[in-house]
Structure 1
């Protein structure tokens, strides 16, 4: 008597794989939503990158500083430096993206919202997978968090020097003050190191960084006057 085959027909196998894929995507989406909801009020723990640097360096400096304990000019400086239209977009700056594409570039249009998602939930480095996940998660965070919450988290997880994470640790490291005591110039210099913290210094600025920080100071004053800071200031 011939033995009955135990192999699944191809169509049935594809249906099962499709079902598993749908469940995996649904589970992932649920985890993202739950994490975003939790971090709407709870401080995110050490990020993946912070843990990497802690292992590499032996230790890092980081503590959580609520937005109320950060000088308002620091938030304005970060926005002026990194994402001047922060209050006017939903996570993606389409005008900046178009400008980058027209120039034939591949970088330069990442918003503070995207950077926050990357730093909190994903990993460093450039890959299509990471960019795709970032693009999916950014609208969720924008929908769940306030703009003030986004800038608060951003300032608390950004790297300002090697092993120095968050504006609280950075203010003490560079200037020996609390984040609430930062002057406009100090805030602008901290914002100026954000794209390249390992090769720039806020306390020993190069002539280029001094000039860049001066531009950030002007930008921070401008967005305060024209209302582009209203979404994250009380």
Structure 2
């Protein structure tokens, strides 16, 4: 078979199906087979369908550009951790400011004894506050020793304002609802009397301990004891050992004997409940608040004398806070106002109001 004899694609030859040839009946054959198809108005004049409307998107809030050309962080980083860091920084700055203020007050207390405290301001007993400051040089060493032994035997030997181990034990006992195994140290009590009211709760105890830290490291133990004995409560509206010694015993604070000092130390945990006996002294009768005779007798009869003896007598106790001479060594200065050598007018007025005028 020659090339010319080969079947054509549309001839229906062997292996090829027959395809009809296009016809051009009724119209002329286009000169060019590649020409565009004829114009059809019914198809080409239709208006195209409008494009679909885009779904509106919620506008994103405006966020300022980072300052100092900082690289932008991811959304999760900006919203979460940065918020916590910001508030943590503010809380830290607030705590530093508060502690700095407490430190400034502690520095001031090195030189000045406060005439009034928050504890005095929240005393609900009727009548005026009776209080007068006295120098520690003119306070009986029996009184100083008894207060240390009864309230804070480690005051002069402890390097911190309070024992941190005992404090954690107290927190654990409070959380479990148990009895407090130990009382507050003298720096803690000074802080409480100056800054806080009489409410009792764990949060206040924690803040009280925190505030006592700058107090304990700034104020010497001797000065701390002087402040404490001038602001401690010894009865309703009765504060300081100057007013207490004259009110209960009719003697100046430098002339308190050993037994009287131990009795006054026993009243310190119950200052709001203590009353004066009609003839003088502390009321230990059946009319007294039931805990007062227990606390006062316990302190005066065996606790204070026993612990004092174990610590080397009153001389050994007061030596722990750097006191090495008796109050009589300052007898030549007992005429000064801060010696409390005469009965304060507030005490005299109170005794007169109670029907016990002093001659």
- Contact 1:80/1:219 (CA < 8 Å) preserved in 2? yes
Q: Which TM-score applies when normalising by structure 1?
A: 0.85
Aligned counterpart in structure 2 of residue 219 of structure 1, from 297, 301, 307: 307
Displacement after TM superposition at 1:49 (Å): 1.5
Tell whether 2:203 aligns with 1:129. yes
Aligned counterpart in structure 1 of residue 100 of structure 2, from 27, 30, 33: 30
Displacement after TM superposition at 1:70 (Å): 0.7
What SS does the aligned partner of 2:234 have?
A: strand
Tell whether 2:155 aligns with 1:86. yes
What SS does the aligned partner of 2:270 have?
A: coil
Please show how residues 96-107 of structure 1 align to structure 2 within 5 Å. Answer: 105-107=179-181
Aligned counterpart in structure 2 of residue 186 of structure 1, from 260, 267, 274: 260
Question: What is the match of residue 110 of structure 2?
Answer: 40
In structure 2, distance between residues paired with 1:186 and 1:34: 36
Give deviations 1:102-146, integer Å, cap 9, x for gaps.
9x5324332122111211223322222211212212221111111
Greater helix share, structure number: 1
- Contact 1:78/1:191 (CA < 8 Å) preserved in 2? yes
Question: What is the match of residue 204 of structure 1?
Answer: 283
My pick for the range that moved more, 68-77 or 210-219, is 210-219
Tell whether 2:119 aligns with 1:49. yes
Compared CA separation, residues 212 and 45, structure 1 to 2 (3 A) = closer
In structure 2, distance between residues paired with 1:146 and 1:187: 23
- Contact 1:83/1:111 (CA < 8 Å) preserved in 2? yes
- Contact 1:97/1:109 (CA < 8 Å) preserved in 2? no
Compared CA separation, residues 98 and 30, structure 1 to 2 (3 A) = closer
Q: Which runs of 4+ in 1 moved over 6 A?
A: 98-102
In structure 2, distance between residues paired with 1:184 and 1:147: 22
What SS does the aligned partner of 1:198 have?
A: coil
Q: Which TM-score applies when normalising by structure 2?
A: 0.57
- Contact 2:232/2:240 (CA < 8 Å) preserved in 1? yes
- Contact 2:187/2:212 (CA < 8 Å) preserved in 1? yes
What SS does the aligned partner of 2:251 have?
A: coil
Q: Which has the larger radius of gyration?
A: 2
Compared CA separation, residues 119 and 107, structure 1 to 2 (3 A) = farther
- Structure 2 gap ranges (5+): 1-58, 65-77, 276-280, 286-292, 325-359
Over the aligned positions, Cα root-mean-square deviation in angstroms equals 3.0
Give deviations 1:70-117, integer Å, cap 9, x for gaps.
111101001111122222222223575588779x53243321221112
What SS does the aligned partner of 1:160 have?
A: strand
Compared CA separation, residues 129 and 98, structure 1 to 2 (3 A) = closer
Aligned length in residues: 232
Higher normalized contact order (CA 8 Å, seq sep 6+, divided by chain length): 1
- Contact 1:80/1:223 (CA < 8 Å) preserved in 2? no
- Structure 1 gap ranges (5+): none
- Contact 1:117/1:134 (CA < 8 Å) preserved in 2? yes
Tell whether 2:155 aligns with 1:68. no
